[in-house]
Structure 1
Amino acid sequence: MVPPSLLTEMRGAAMSLTAAASGLVVFLLSVSVVQGQDGWGLTYTSTEICAVKGSTVEIRCSYTYPSPWRGHVNTVEKTFWFTKKKDGERVDLTTDSEYAGRVEDLGENNICTLRIRNLTESDSAEYMFRFETNQAGGKYSGSPGVTLSVSNLQVTSDTNWLYCQSSCPQSSNPSYIWYKNGQSIQGETSDYTSIPNNADSYSCALKGHEDFPSPAVYSPKPPSVSGSPSAEIEEGSSVTLTCSSDANPAANYTWYKEDEDSPKASGQIFNITDFRAEHSGSYSCGAQNKLGRSNSTFHLSVGTGNSTMIVNIIRTTLGVLMLIPVFLLGLWIRKKKALRSTTEAREPVEIELDSDPEYQNVSHTAAKTEDRE
């Protein structure tokens, strides 16, 4: 069993535990809570913890149980941490594939400590400790447990300053590394002064956890502008212009018309209904965030509708002209075939008569008979 003085010391040292753990970037948000009755109890050092993605966290507690219990010696046979159940059974985190190679159960002598390395956002959960003794019914789970929130780093900007921040309260003073276009630059504080260039991107990471940098921030790339319809627009019809740009943070969009100072519209989509001649011209889409601005233009011109008709007539005429040679060739072939058939019909037919020796002999015999008479 844990002496009462040790429990009191643990409950009062919630913040010092974090400071004592080298390399940990963990913020304890609430005081410890004692649970239990009839000699059974469990005390979590803190019930809420916020940690930065990629860092290491330690969740700590202590537990007590009656000994002897109902006349029998009571010993602890199994301890483990869990967040979920499978088929009605609590899953030991050291056997959970999602935590493989990242989790350690460091508890001993009624002290329970869970260490999780390389935190990911999916590690945000409620963690509970359970111990089981050799006696029937001698099991205890500390519920509610400790709520862990994993926060990602974010780079924010203000004029010429950049800030590396997370949603966790800044109760410690960690060191940071800044990156410009993927290359590390000076500074170990959470802020960095710079005059952003449209071609540059910036990110930050906790020192010692460089594999988990914040998402890079950068000014808008040159926007892509498209129109529908994309060519000449008939008077009275509608046209839609669309603008998009790669930027982080996301860009805001503003539309301008050439030679006009006031913006025509804001947002990614700009609609013009009842298009007229005065609407013709170049339209500029400006994409802007706190790091910079970029522009692209698109030209619109009005048509009467005759141009489309003329194009269709030209296409039809060309199609007909291409078919005429084919048609004439077909006629020539048919005429040639007909002429050949007529010529063959008018040619005389030569009949070849074969002499019949037997017939000649018969005729000769008959002539002789007549002569005798």
Structure 2
Amino acid sequence: MFYISILLQLLLSAAVASVSVSYNPKSICVLERSSVDFKCTFDYPYYSTLETTKWFKPEADQKQDGTQVGISVYHSNTAEIHQLYKNRTAYANQDRNCSLQLHNVSKNDNGMYFFRFEYSYRGKYTGLGGIHLSVAVLPFRVTVKTQKENGHIHEGDSVTLTCGTENCTPKQKLFAWFKNQRLIPEATDIEFRISSVSHHDFGNYSCALKNSSSTSADEILLDIKYSPKNVEIAVLPSGKIREGNSLTLICMSNANPSVTNYSWFLIKEANVSHIGFHREFFIKAASQKDDGQYFCIAKNDIKTKN
């Protein structure tokens, strides 16, 4: 009698231990309108008969831990499947493989999913933990991250552009990056890093999945602040200057933000004179007294350049 009792306890322990559900992975992010695989295996007592299998999603007003059975995403009795999931699922239907494929996912499919099975002798078990599904809602969006607290980006700063969507972004995908609608061939990750930006990086950026037409709805401007560059003087009219003719000297430069202050100087016989403070310097009637070397200084909020 003692040996029978021990044997029954061992059988009972084995039966209890063999009831399980395993999910892999526990969290998934997929693009809307695509398909997703819920990988799942389960186990139940060898002497039992499997009666019901189902995948369910707790409703919004229920606990999201699997303790409350929600709407049926899949059910071995097809009549039990909720209308939202009719003809959208494919169950593995293999011994101890409870994997499920869900097609044409949408934003409404965000949430927790659990597998539950029932077997003979009134056995019921729900695999706790579940799988959390996040649906990435298009279009893609580009966000800019820099170490500067005020958000302004200056030449030499490190900048990271991230391609993302609402809710989440599938990280295992290859991405394409565009600057002013032209492909950046070397950029294929979810992030595009520029370790030291220059004024050449100024422009509009967007992203998409590689080999896809799903670009970001709006380009984002990478607005890089830099001091005046390529300061030059243009003379109008060009050519030889005759005495008595009028002419205009124009100080031109490339800067961001724009130049806010100009200064004109004349070098004559080793003397430097300040002669003006506008972008254009006008000489009404040229004469010998105007002979000399002219230069301008362009200044913005960052620096000056002559």
Q: Which of the pair is proportionally richer in strand?
A: 2
Larger Rg: 1
Would you tell me which structure has more helix in proportion to its own residues?
A: 1
Name the structure, 1 or 2, with higher relative contact order (CA <8 Å, separation 6+). Answer: 2
TM-score scaled by structure 2? 0.44
